[in-house]
Structure 1
Amino acid sequence: MPERVLCQSQDLLERGLAQRFTLQWGGRERSAFVFRYDGGVYAYINECAHIPIELDFNPGDFFDYSHSWLVCSTHGAYYAPNTGLCLGGPCSGRKLISLPVREYANQVYLIEEQHE
């Protein structure tokens, strides 16, 4: 599968600001983000599972004040960073859309798949 460089590894600080990017998904361009959590790298489509609006009010700022959960700045829904599962708020039990990423050679890559 083809891969696309999203950022350098050092751009993702543990539980810090995420890097935003766009991709084609479902026949249209979508916003997405990649971040580091507990040493792993994760990426999701940037849409709340409650209503499809972007999670971050300030670009790249997805974590709550404790840096433990991803949070929707509009609805207050909070998500487990490593699974995307909503643990509280109006969409409890639903999930963010996960994207396949991997890290090697000091870079973070999106594994590009067809998402029609």
Structure 2
Amino acid sequence: MTSRSKDLPPHPAEPDMILLALFQSRLRERSLYLGEEIRAQRSRLSAHAQRAMMDDKKPDDGGATLARIERAEQALAAVRQAQARMGNGRYGLCDECQEPIGWDELLEAPEQTVCRSCSQFGELDVLSQTGS
């Protein structure tokens, strides 16, 4: 006689493991997107410079494109750091207070490194230093 309980796993998958898999997937997707964005912007910058040379014009510095590349590279670095934290068991812990970052906060931005409380505290510190 076989019972249904023998066919089921002894414990359901922990929500934390499911959410970690979700965050890992979101980080991977974000990494791929940012990598493609960087390649596209670099290509755009290169094409713009080539057109300027063909038209015997002085190429502009492409400041807006360079700024987009820089922002995307910074975001990609944050994603890679989050992936590294995931690999060493530090993912989801606040860098400031060492407490877990809320799952809802990580769903908003899976690469973040500080919890909402510490982030708000840091903002208050900046405001008090500027005299606002």
Q: Normalising to structure 1: TM-score of the pair?
A: 0.20
Greater strand fraction, Structure 1 or Structure 2: 1
Greater helix fraction, Structure 1 or Structure 2: 2
Bigger radius of gyration:
2
Q: Normalising to structure 2: TM-score of the pair?
A: 0.18
